[in-house]
Structure 1
Amino acid sequence: MSEDVWLAFLLTLFAGLSTGIGSFIAFFTSTTNTKFLSWALGFSAGVMIYVSFMEIIPKAHEALTASTTGETGSWLTAGGFFAGILMIAIIDRCVPDEKNPHEVKKVEEMRAPRARVLRDNPELLKMGTLTALAIAIHNFPEGIATFASAVHDPSLGVAIAIAVAIHNIPEGIAVSVPVYYATGSRWQAFKLSFMSGLAEPLGAVVAFLFLMPYLNEMSFGFVFASVAGIMVFISLDELLPAARKYDDGHMTIYGVVLGMAVMATSLILFL
């Protein structure tokens, strides 16, 4: 495999395992810094939205118009974009609200008394496992998006991996809280949170095995447009609502603008 493919795998692994960082934070901090949380989620959304519309979609359109005639490339670009949105929206709808990992939880919830320990109620383990599975289902398409971007352009892949990692950290907290209630074990909560992040590198493996062999100019453009759709949906449906929930003043919009500015600067200087 080429160096770009190995780098893409490593970036996807880094982004996915950031859920473990969130879980670690949940165990060793006593309160949630809501101001920083709102800013960080907004920053991640700003990076994803800016790079989707300013870099990924134009590159997808360029690839698709180069391999088609007339307005076909434009229609395929739009189709790929909304196909990505549809895919992640269907996945999101398949996860019950009470197990939805993108419902942000505070570290303080870890301090609340739990009803029973694991040995007293084995059904709680089942609930915890289903919660971890819900996280994995959500993370899988993010892994495909990160991998596809990094293979095409390593510098772009680094930016996207960092944005995904930032949004996975509070997601790790959201996983740890219900799993801790489910199992009564901090180690079990950390382990399941950490393992759920492995769905992202698994998405990279699937992309490598089933997408890479068929990536020509047209299929690459469509996949890339779908990646943009996935990231825009994640930003609008998950990151920004979660950031606004714990917003303090205008920290969310400050984070969004700074994320866009950082992404714009990096695109000008490094891409």
Structure 2
Amino acid sequence: MQGAWFAFILTLLAGLSTGIGSLIAFFARRTNKTLLAVSLGFSAGVMIYISLVDMLAEARLDLLGQYGQPGEWLALGAFFAGIGLTALVDLLVPEVENPHHAWRVEEMESAAEAARARKLLRTGMVTAMVLALHNFPEGIATFVAGLMEPATGVAIAMAIAIHNIPEGISVSVPIFYATGSRRKALLYSCLSGLCEPLGAAAGYVFLLRFVSPGIFGVVFAMVAGTMIFIAFDELLPAAHEHGEHHHAIGGLIGGMAVMAVGLALVR
């Protein structure tokens, strides 16, 4: 039970990092694109390295031990199922309202000046709801990782927290310019992030109900697939778009290097 609380707190902190994005939006006049590109690349590097080197490998060994050679195929199937399910969630989100495609403070400000308050408020509310939908599977992934391997869970929580900061900007800025209230903007930004601990709770109930030999290996492989999709579909394209190519790649390599050293130290 203590491990479950630790994993839940990790997920809660990662989700609430959307509030940091709100605070940045209130006080920053322009986005530091170099820092954003490096940070997003770093998060992608963390997720990719952990998923392929640690989580998928751990799931494979667990399932091989449980089922023999068929466990190898089960691990691969679960990995790609995780990718597919996350891609399906992403496809259900309308492109024009997808919060992963709105990153810069100044773009949101110029839009605010050109639009009416009612339209801005609707934009902020829809973005918050869409972001909540995206955060649900990310919450499950963070919780499961924290429950099964605390060190891995901490790393994933940090990567998702960085990932959530610019999303908090995309929620809070239109609401702030529509209402003039920093409090409301911060509130809705944080509420959208709270779907991550809701995802954690759902993951906990699922694991308790369906726990069986091999289930953790399957779940771990699926979580690895989820992380891979987030890294390649969201983080790397955003890092490349909003910064120089070598900034994004430098962040990517840096994230991998930090995780390689970190995993070596805890083993």
Q: TM-score range by the shorter chain?
A: over 0.9
- Among 91, 94, 100, the alignment partner of 1:93 is 91
Give the corresponding residue for 1:35.
34
How far apart, CA to CA, are the structure 2 residues paired with 1:98 and 1:87? 21
- Secondary structure of the equivalent of 1:102? helix
Residues 63 and 217 of structure 1 are in contact (CA less than 8 Å); yes or no, is this contact kept in structure 2? Answer: no
RMSD between aligned residues: 1.6
Contact 1:104 1:242 in 2 (8 A): no
Structure 1 or 2: more helix by fraction: 2
Name segments (4+ residues, structure 1) moved above 6 Å. Answer: none
Supply the AA of the counterpart residue of 2:209.
P
**Deviations along 1:86-122, whole A, 9 cap, x unmatched?**
11111111110111011132111343315323xxx4x
Q: Which runs of 5+ in 2 are unaligned?
A: none
For the residues of structure 1 that align with 2:212 and 2:49, how far apart are their CA atoms? 26
- Aligned counterpart, 1:148: 144
Matched with 1:165 is 161
Equivalent residues in 2 for 1:72-221, closer than 5 Å: 72-112=70-110, 113-117=113-117, 121=118, 125-180=121-176, 183=179, 185-221=181-217
Distance 2:215 2:245 in 1: 44
Give the CA deviation at 1:194. 1.0
Distance change (3 Å), C-alpha of 1:216 and 1:182: farther
Instruction: Normalising by structure 2, report the TM-score.
Output: 0.94
Q: CA 1:93 to 1:9, structure 2 compared with 1: closer, same or farther past 3 Å? A: same
Provide the TM-score with structure 1 as the length reference: 0.92
Q: Secondary structure at the match of 2:116?
A: coil
Give the SS at the match of 1:217. coil
1:254 equivalenced with 2:253 (yes/no): no
Question: Retained in 2: the 8 A contact 1:26–1:110?
Answer: no
In the alignment, is the contact (CA less than 8 A) between 1:114 and 1:181 conserved in 2?
no
